[in-house]
Structure formats: C-alpha cells, structure tokens
Structure 1
Amino acid sequence: MILLQVPLSTFVAGSTIHHQYMAFSDVNLKRFLKIDALRERNTPLLRMRVLYDGIEQVMIVKLMPSLFHSLAAARLHDILHEKFITLGVKKQIFSVGDGRFGDPNERFKEPDIAYTTNERNHDDFPCFVVEVGVAESLQMLKCDAHFWLTKSDKRTKLVLIIHIDKVLRKILLQR
C-alpha cells in the first residue's frame, strides 16, 4: 500500500515542487528484498536512498533529483580526502560510500557518504556520516542524523548535515 504518491515528473531536476519521499506500508523483509533486487538490476531508475523499518514494515524511498546533491557530497569527499592525506591518516580513515547500514529486521538506512576506520568490520556502522539535502527540509536532515546517532549504538560518532537552499543561494553545514 502506498501512503504517499507523487508523480515522477515531480522529481525532475529543476522542478519547483519539493516533495521527494514516497512511503510504502506492509513491506515485510521478504517483499523488501524482492524490491531491492529489482532496484539492483534496473540501473535506469532514479537515484534513491532507502530507509527500511522491519518492525513497522515500512519502506521510505528518498528520490535524489538534483545534481547539486551529488556535487555537494562529492566535493566534501574530495576536501576530506585531501585533508586525510595531509594528516597522514589516508589509510586509517576511508569512505565506504553510500552503502546500507543497520539491521533489516529492525531498521537500516543508506547515507549520502560514510566514513570508517580500518579497525572496523566492513559491515559495521560507519564512524562518520554525511547527509545532504537540497529539496529536503533541514528538519528531515536532522531526523537522518538522529537515526545515525541513536541506532548505531554509539558507533557513529559524527554526522555532518549539508543543507542547500537554491532559492536563497545558501549552504548550511551542521554537526
């Protein structure tokens, strides 16, 4: 059952409409894994991030319509990578990209960028997460940060929020 449905034209880059979420209820883990397999095979689909709550059996899809979103995440990664090299910690801290973290029987999420250390297992929660929002409200980004800081059992130590307001031409960074 779809809780919120918005026409896909809404998600075209440059659209003035700012909705970017679709929520689906009654999505058990088996159904979610089938949907996820389709997503993996269909590369022409819109870029998206997924939050899955196995307890409530809800899947929330955040569509990524904007090039600004990708550019902000990529540029921050470049800056951090240069800083890691300068500090001599390039091999100790590294990006794990936008992989999925959490427990599918409870809740998991996909960050925009995540970093970890070589002391952790590759599937453990990241140490540091970056969440970017262009059409997304600052409050939604704070909800994303809350997930990482509370659901990781204190393994995620830092969340950086990048909120881009194209109308006001401002970028807000929050920790």
Structure 2
Amino acid sequence: MNVELQVATSSHVEDVLTLHYRYQVDSISDQDRADGFITTAFTKDHLTRLIEDENGLFIATVDGKIVAYAMAASWGFWSQWPMFEFMVKNLHDSTCLGQVINADNSYQYGPVCVDKSVRGLGVFEKVFEFALAQMSKRYPIMVTFINQINPRSFRAHTTKTSLTVIKEFGFNNNQYYKLACKTA
C-alpha cells in the first residue's frame, strides 16, 4: 500500500468532510463508535479557513482516495468552539519541555481520523508525523485532548506517538486527557 501525504488544498474539502462525518459522534454508526469517534463537527467553511488561514489540514491518500486526515492550528483558530476556548484559558496550568504552555508556544492538534479500511497499517502514525513535522516550523509544543470515553484514540496517541498525558480535566460533563509533546 502506497500512502501519500500532503497538506490539503481547497479541492480536498468535500472528501475530507465525507470521511469526517462517517466518524463524527453525531453521525457515526453504532458499530463504528466503539472503534473511536470525533466530537467536533466541521463545515465546509471551517475546513476552508483551516486550509487558507492556518495551512493546517494534512491528508493521507491511497490510490488517490483520502483515507486519513489530521488537523492542527493556532489557538486563535480553535477558539470559535467553547471547548477550545476553555482550553486556551487553562493552557498555563501545564508544562511541557520545562516551559509553561501558552497560546504563543503551542498549537492544538486534532482531530485526526483514519478510515477503518486502513487502520492498523501505519497510516495513523504517518499522518501524525507529517502533521507534526509541518507544524514544527511554527511551534515548539503540540497540545491536544482526548475524551476519556474514547479508549482507541487514547491508546493510539499514547503508544504510537510521542504524546504524553500532562493533565486530566473536565468540561461540559465529560472527562478528558490533556496531552502534549515537543514538535522537533
């Protein structure tokens, strides 16, 4: 299997949204939910701005078909959603690399989505590392969060990447892990 990685362009938005909604919590099938899900809903406008303003959508393709994506952007971009606004207000409660985390030295990674047809084949690791390398040009620290009721995502991120849990927190009646790593 030949996996190609690239920074997404506007021409990829519709295909990314198709993949996204297949695994988004509001639309995922019950049988697929146990294998992980994405909580944040996105629109065409969100993804277009993520691409044009942040250069922060990374895709993996196989035979020209998008099979995975990872999102990453500044905290300013993410602050339009209450969850991320909460995280920005509390970035300073954690450290990474001996530095207090803030909106200037870190960015938010995720969500990431891998089609079940290629799970377990290294696609997740490839798109994660590609996104990390691209964002390392701008930020020394990556931060993300994982809902504690999503064990597949937690296992993947803590066993297949350099992310480490730096805190646990609650928001909107859910419990989350806050994770971080250095980018370079």
Fold-level match, TM-score > 0.5?
A: no
Instruction: Please say which structure displays the higher CA radius of gyration.
Output: 1
Higher relative contact order (CA 8 A, sep 6+): 2
Q: TM-score range by the shorter chain?
A: 0.3 to 0.5
Query: TM-score, structure 1 length as denominator?
Result: 0.38
If each structure's helix is expressed as a fraction of its own residues, which one has the higher value? 2
